[in-house]
Structures are given as structure tokens and as C-alpha cells.
Homo-oligomer: A and B are copies of this chain.
Amino acid sequence: MSDTLFARACRREPVERTPIWIMRQAGRYLPEYRALRAKADFLTCCHTPELACEITLQPVQRLDVDAAILFSDILVPLPAMGVEVTFNPGPHLARPVRSAGDVAALRVPDAREATPFVLEAIRLVRCALPQTVPLIGFAGAPFTMATYLVEGGGSKHFDAIKGLLFSDPPTAHALLARCGETVASLLAEQVRAGAQAAMLFDTWAGLLGPADYRAFALPYVRRVFDRVTEVAAELGLDVPRIYYAGNAGGWLPACRDTGATVVGLDWRMDLEPARAQLGPELAVQGNLDPAVLLGTPALIRQRARAVLDQAGPIGHVFNLGHGILPQTPPDHARVLVDAVRECSSRRVA
């Protein structure tokens, strides 16, 4: 692993070209995924290691991306925490977590008992992947997981979670601590099972202003990554820690304190000023607007080049700024992969 293109880019070492993978690369835009989903629902796919493995490999085969990411969902630990969740297609919780009593009732499961299917899927994928393609394990960041638990699904103003933060901070912190412990176990065990990078998705942290980000999101991310670091050291492995910071323009410098080695960004800001704020220690991942893949191949190539120019050749993993849209033509995803490969090779040569 430590020699893959992806790993070297994460470590900010010189690379012959910029590696690329695509958030939600295993998903609804792929006809082979939809064919499989016609036979098994979303949760069954997450819970069945053979299916999760097959779906994880689909985009590697079709797109020739430089990393695989496990097919799973950030909410898979919820049932073991004592919370039922359904998908249709977005997540829905029949009984959101709202009170101090609800929080106290949450269990903090060990991932080996709670989500053994995730760990088994990782073992299967590792056996199936070529040596040159590392496998990224992931989990939801504690604040984002807490947001789902409190809102109970999608939301317009996210007033339930924010109402909790502002009207009852001790309960909010108790919830975040439970989410943090659950996620730490899940991500650390994925590394033990063979994941070669550990990613946290903090999709909703952008709901917070800078002070609240530092109070309610950052410390719990730090704890999860500390646990990953410990497990990696125990195993004698170098495991990149990737933090996807959604809508992070207001508190980017705080990402330096998360313990991440790579920060994933959405398309809302240019990578050049972002890197200036993140400092020289961190690699970046991103950040093409996923909707660009709805445009022409010429537009895709032009915009891919613009992202590469912004990012520079060192410490950059190309990605979209958010998950690939379901209506994206798969050929356009391939155009992007080829464009990044060609354009970044030429630059280095």
C-alpha cells in the first residue's frame, strides 16, 4: 500500500500523475449497480459482504480509478446503537434522538459485534483488488451522524440538531461522545480488517459557524482519528486519514487540528486559497462540481484541468466535491478519469 500512487499523493510525495477516485463511485449512476439493486435492496447490499464487495469493485473495473471505497453507508452502525433506520432512498428514523433520555439509551457498540459485515466485506475486497488499488474504509463523522440521529432524516433548516446544541449543550456533547466512540471503533476496526485509508464524512459540519465547529464537531473528529492512528501504529502501517469537510469555507483552518492528513473539499471554494488556509502539512482531495459531469466532454476536460491547476502537482487526490449525481452518464465519469490522468501526466513530464 505505501507505494501506491494514492498513498504517495496523500503523503505529499512526488507522483507521476494525480490519482483520482470519485465519491459515490459505487452507486446509482452505474447500470451494473442498478441491475444488482433490482434484486436486493440497499440495506441488504450493505449487510451482505459478497454484494458489498461486488459493488465496491464495479467502478474499479469500469472506470479504472486509483482507489476503491467500500460500498456501505454512514448509518450502518445505527441499529446496534439501538436506532432503527430505513432507506427510501434517503434515510428515515422512526424515532429520532431528541432528549437526554434518548441519548442515555444509545448503546456504543464495538464494530466487531455491531457491523461484522462491514469488516468481512473489507476482507473480501482486499482479496479481490489489484495491489495497485488501495481500499478506503469510511464512517460518518460524529457531528454528521448526530445530525441524522436528531433530525431523523433530511431537513431544511436543521433546527432540531441546532436547537439541541444551543439549548442543551451537555446532552449534545453526550450524544456526540457516543457517536464518536461508535465511529472510532468502526473506523479503527476497518483498518484492522485491511482498509488502507480511513475516511470520515462530515457532510453536515458546514451547518456550523467557526466557534460551534470547534466546540461540537472538531474534538470528536480528532478522537476518531487518534484511534485510527493508534491502530495503524500498532499494525506498523501508514494509513492516510481523510476528512471530508462539507461546506467548510468558514472554518478551514480548524481542519488542521482534526488529525487528518488529507482534507476533502467541496466545489464551493478554489483549492489554491483553500491550501493557503490549510497550511503545508495537509494534502487535499477534490473538488470538481459533480454537476459538471452533466455537461459535455469538452467542458469536463476543461474543468478537470482547472482543478488540477488550482491544486498543483503535490499532495492532491482528484475527486468530485460531492457524490456523483445519479443521472450522470457513466461515460462522462470515464472522460473525467482519463482527462485527469492525461492532463496531470503531461504536467509532471
Seen from chain A, the residues whose Cβ lies within 8 Å of a Cβ on chain B are 154, 156-159, 162-163, 165-167, 206, 208-212, 247-251, 267-270, 287, 289-292, 294-296, 299, 306, 321-322, 325, 327
Question: Which residue of chain B has the shortest Cβ distance to A90 in the bound complex?
Answer: B156
Contact A269 B295 (CB under 8 A): no
Interfacial chain B residues near A157, Cβ < 8 Å = 290-291, 322, 325
Q: Are A294 and B167 in contact (CB-based, < 8 A)? A: yes
B270 near A167 with CB under 8 A, answer no
Give chain B residues whose Cβ lies under 8 Å from the Cβ of A290.
Answer: 157
Q: Chain A interface secondary structure, helix, strand, loop or mixed?
A: loop
For residue A163, which residue of chain B has the nearest CB?
Answer: B294
Measured in the bound complex, the distance between the Cα atoms of B158 and A321 in whole Å is 14
Q: Is the CB of B249 within 8 A of A268?
A: yes
Partner of A269, one of B154, B210, B270: B210
How many protomers of this protein does the assembly include?
2
Pick from B156, B162, B294: contact of A159, CB under 8 Å: B294
Cα A284 to Cα B292 with chains together (Å): 32
Q: Which of B154, B249, B269 is within 8 Å of A156, CB to CB? A: B154
Other-chain contact of A166, B159, B210, B287, B292 (Cβ < 8 Å):
B292
Q: Are B167 and A295 in contact (CB under 8 A)?
A: yes
- Distance to closest chain B CB from A70 (angstroms): 23
Q: Is the CB of B289 within 8 A of A162?
A: yes
Assembly CA distance A209 to B249 (angstroms): 11
Residues of B within 8 A of A212 (CB): 289
Please name all residues of chain B whose beta carbon is closer than 8 Å to the beta carbon of A270 when the two chains form the complex.
209-211, 250
Query: Which residue, of A162, A163, A267, A268, has the highest number of chain B Cβ atoms within 10 A?
Result: A268
* Shortest beta-carbon distance from A284 to chain B in Å: 14
Contact A166 B209, beta carbon cutoff 8 Å: no
**Nearest CB in chain B to that of A322: its residue:** B157
**Does A295 lie within 8 Å of B159, measured CB to CB?**
no
Query: What's the Cα separation between A158 and B296 when bound, in Å?
Result: 18
Show 6 A/B contacts (Cβ-Cβ < 8 Å), sorted by A: A159-B327, A163-B294, A209-B269, A209-B289, A247-B247, A251-B268
For A248, what are the chain B residues with a Cβ–Cβ distance below 8 Å? Answer: 249
> Shortest distance in angstroms between A59's beta carbon and chain B's nearest beta carbon?
19
Q: Which residue of B lies closest to A250 (CB)?
A: B269
Complex contact A295–B250 (CB within 8 A): no
- A269 CB to closest chain B CB (Å) equals 3
